[in-house]
Amino acid sequence: MRIKDVELRIIQLPLVRPFRTSFGTQLERELLLMKITTHEGSQGWAECVAMSEPLYSPEYTMGAQDVMVRFLLPKIFAYDDVRAEEVADILKPFLGHQMSKAAVETAILDAQLKLEGISFGSYLGSSKSEIDCGVSVGIASSIEALVAEVGLYIYEGYRRIKLKIEPGWDIEPVRIIREIWPDIPLQVDANQAYSRDDTELLKKLDQFNLLLIEQPLDEHDLLGHVLLAKEVRTPICLDESITSLESARDALAMKATTVINIKPGRVGGYLESVRIHDLCVENNIPVWCGGMLETGIGRAANIALASLPGFTLPGDTSASSRYFRRDITPPFIMNDGQLDVPTGPGIGVEIDHDFIEEITTSRKVISAP
């Protein structure tokens, strides 16, 4: 497949409500979109999930655009014929930048599958036509606001609730939610907000019958997670620590985790995500697909990934209305707590070009030599 040109757009999409985590509050989602056009007449779309500032990861929107323009795309352009399966090896000389690499691979894969008439789900190994939906609930302004928000999501039919926590907002909000809804599948996500010194505090979460505690410690502190796992009864799930197949293999070997959250952007793409999924299936480790406030482009691909057989826990692949009043694709609408897996070629969604034009703040077109 010969690439003709690549369009990079930065868009700003307002959120329906502020989304606060331990590393900051988002009022809108700034995203880098990529559109690849091939000489064969196919177009492939992807989004880079890096945020506007390097708070959640070292990557950020403008930096991702820079590394794509200066390094990743010229390397891809050097090949007269390229397939998605080759992208990771082609870009391997450039260290890090997993989110940027994931976007390049995904856009190429979308264009490739459209030419072949194959859906994302079929290509990745889908085993379901629908997936169960969970929802991520940010740190609220008050307990009352948290209860109201969780109640809304339960009324809408979400099958799992995830609460963001941080020091000072942990035991009490979790206790209240568990008292009101004793049977709802419930988990918490710390986004690295705690340290080894907080072990006794984190042990108090055991009383709430949680599915898991997600990434309680720093992403580089695998040993700390090993030690914590020996002290708490609640399963430890790793997210930020999982950046590749090798990191997942190491975490399992060290017994730092018994559940893994696979985020395609963090691990360099959907093909690496499938490899991590396969590793976990071999080791009887449950996995789920985390969210990064994706638009319908990333949501469609995530839903396809979450339909693989090893994804046995509801992920963060919520309905479009959870985050956006208007999306850049037709909205994903939840039915009885589930979303349909797209079946069209590639990611399987139509792009709202007019709306993208409205919310674009910058645009670059890079033509292959």
Residues assigned a catalytic role: 164, 263
Per-residue HEC secondary structure of the chain comes to: CCEEEEEEEEEEEEEEEEEEECCEEEEEEEEEEEEEEECCCCEEEEEECCECCCCCCCCEHHHHHHHHHHHHHHHHHCCCCCCHHHHHHHHCCCCCCHHHHHHHHHHHHHHHHHHHCCEHHHHHCCCCCEEEEEEEECCCCCHHHHHHHHHHHHHHCCCEEEEECECCECHHHHHHHHHHCCCCCEEEECCCCCCHHHHHHHHHHHHHCCCCEECCCCCCCHHHHHHHHHHCCCCEEECCCCCCHHHHHHHHHCCCCCEEEECHHHHCCHHHHHHHHHHHHHCCCCEEECCCCCCHHHHHHHHHHHCCCCECCCECCCCHHHCCCCCCCCCCCCECCEEECCCCCECCCCCCHHHHHHHEEEEEEEECC
Q: How many CA atoms lie within 13 A of 12 on its CB side?
A: 7
Q: Indicate the length of the chain as a whole number.
A: 369
